[in-house]
Chains A and B, each alone.
Chain A
Amino acid sequence: DAMVIQNPRYQVTQFGKPVTLSCSQTLNHNVMYWYQQKSSQAPKLLFHYYDKDFNNEADTPDNFQSRRPNTSFCFLDIRSPGLGDAAMYLCATSRARMSYTFGSGTRLTVV
């Protein structure tokens, strides 16, 4: 089945140690998104790629970066994770922006 896959499902990282979360899709959608969702809150858009064009949200901290080497893969890099970055990170894809498909998420814990 076509889907959005996020790895790993759970990630524990040390305070200040760089961490990378990955997302892959078999839907061949041209838009990919990264959302941050803290406990009991709505998902918050960090950035998105429209094809290779990177779009950063104005309030996304510089600590967060993203890479999209090809249509299928997208990575979220957190350069120096702080305790406040502990959250669920959701990857989503879209074609024509009338339908958005989400992955199962990566739960990030910072110790």
Chain B
Amino acid sequence: AQSVTQLDSQVPVFEEAPVELRCNYSSSVSVYLFWYVQYPNQGLQLLLKYLSGSTLVESINGFEAEFNKSQTSFHLRKPSVHISDTAEYFCAVSDRGSNYKLTFGKGTLLTVNP
């Protein structure tokens, strides 16, 4: 069965500092990996995804994530964060073995302080 572990429940950083949100997954088959962002009282917005090909994927707002198969990780990074990046971030996985159901990690609350 697939599962996702987000090691950090909360990550406070100062504005313009770099940040890494960690995500590890468990699956015995090939996977699709996703990062979603959720602002208060809103739905989930797709930030970026890995399906195949290049292991480094980027979003339009400066986030990137790298798929590392050997370490079963898909960490999210941004070199310089803004106040507006404050939100909950969820890592998710779907795989063929689970009939492609999307399974989420517990989330990481990123708080960007001035």
Task: Name the one of A40, A41, A88, A100 contacting B102, with C-beta atoms under 8 angstroms.
Answer: A100
Contact in complex: A101, B46 (CB < 8 Å): yes
Taking the complex as formed, is A2 at the interface, i.e. its CB lies under 8 A from any CB of chain B? Answer: no
Chain A residues within 8 Å of chain B by Cβ, number: 24
Bound-complex Cα distance A97 to B34 (A): 12
Chain B residues within 8 Å of chain A by Cβ, number: 22
Task: Name the one of B34, B42, B46, B104 contacting A105, with C-beta atoms under 8 angstroms.
Answer: B42
Contact in complex: A43, B32 (CB < 8 Å): no
Contact in complex: B104, A42 (CB < 8 Å): yes
Give a binary string over A62-96; 1 marks a CB under 8 Å from any B CB, 0 the rest. 00000000000000000000000000101010100
Known: A98-B32, A99-B46, A101-B46. A42 touches B41 (CB 8 A): no
Contact in complex: B49, A99 (CB < 8 Å): yes
How many contacts A-B (CB < 8 Å)? 50
Known: A43-B44, A90-B44, A105-B42. A100 touches B34 (CB 8 A): yes
Bound-complex Cα distance A90 to B43 (A): 7
Known: A42-B106, A97-B32. A102 touches B49 (CB 8 A): no
Binding site for B on A (CB under 8 A): 4, 6, 33, 40-43, 45, 48, 55, 88, 90, 92, 94, 97-105, 107
| Known A92-B102, A98-B32, A102-B44; further 10 A-B contacts with Cβ < 8 A | A6-B43, A43-B90, A43-B104, A97-B32, A97-B100, A98-B49, A100-B46, A102-B36, A102-B45, A104-B42
